Amino acid sequence: MPALRLTFGFFIVLCWSGAHAHPGKVNTEGCHTHRKTSEYHCHEDRIKAKVEPVVPPSETAQPTAQVQASMESKELLKLDYEGFTLWIDCKERAAIRFRYTAQRDNGNVKRYDHFELGPGSPAACQQFSSQAYGNGYDRGHQVPANHLDDSVNAIHQSNYMANILPQTSQMNRGAWLLTEEIIECYRDIDDLLVLGGIIWGQDTNNDIFASSHGVRTPDYFYKVIVRGTGADERAIAWVVPNSTEATKRNLDHFLVSIDELEKLTGDQFPVADYAKHDKPATSWLIPYGCNKS
């Protein structure tokens, strides 16, 4: 994997573990996820600060499910959609973090083909357009629609441009797609905690959508999958370059340990210490007979 020479001073450090440990810390809403049961729940007596929505939910927005929006910090807008959460850097008009739990596949809702800006966040935090990027770049999902296929509403929300960034077609349909297929197969074996985000990098030559869409093009996308609990907890992580080399065949080249990813991003991930040092020799194999639809 190409060497990464990045500056992360402007990032707000998000401690994933603070939202997922139990017992222990809770987020500002007094909530966290029980790591043993993967149940997300709240403690009213432990709410740190009452956060009012930044934008009132639109009464006429379709689909009708409410999008919860709150300021995680002075620079990050947290958007809670159905089944997934995004953290938006409003200065960049882009989601820089995402999180969701992938559970047993009990749905087969058809993918929604229309892209839109979507309700729930200020215009100043959104891209200018929902039109296709072009120039060899797809409208790439951070959280894939296929992992939300038990809900028409969640499928719809996954196509909001808040969840979309420019990805080379080779990456979007190659290495990144393979990570999604791995999740699709293994979520029928274990509940999976999926965390990810972007790394802007220093290549400005690919920032060709600043005028049309208001966003830069990330140089890398990363993803972490956590399965199991206690002594059986396992994790795998990739940092995938947003380039034509990011094909399915090359996915194993992009494997990193959780330790390496934490040093690279400045974030802490809710993975047992003993599992943070391991980097699998290969990506998790697709089980025989897995239905990836």
Residue 45 in tokens: 């007596």
pLDDT for the residue numbered 151:
92
Interacting residues of 56 by C-beta distance below 8 A, sequence separation 6+? none
What does the alpha-carbon distance between residue 269 and residue 41 come to, in Å, rounded to a whole number? 19
Q: What is the residue-level pLDDT of the chain in tens, covering all 293 positions? A: 544 443 333 333 344 544 444 444 555 445 555 554 445 455 544 433 333 333 333 333 333 345 666 655 667 999 999 999 999 999 999 999 999 999 998 878 888 889 999 888 899 999 999 999 999 999 999 999 999 989 999 999 999 999 999 999 999 999 999 999 999 999 999 999 999 999 999 999 999 999 999 999 999 999 999 999 888 899 999 999 999 999 999 999 999 999 999 999 999 999 999 999 999 999 999 999 898 77
Residue 261 in tokens: 């990813």
pLDDT for the residue numbered 74:
62
What does the alpha-carbon distance between residue 36 and residue 232 come to, in Å, rounded to a whole number? 11
**Residue whose C-alpha is closest to residue 3's, from 284, 282, 275, 260:** 260
Inter-residue contact 224 to 271 (CB < 8 Å) = yes
* pTM, 2 dp: 0.77
Residue 235 in tokens: 């994790």
Q: Which residue has the tokens 């992938």?
A: 102
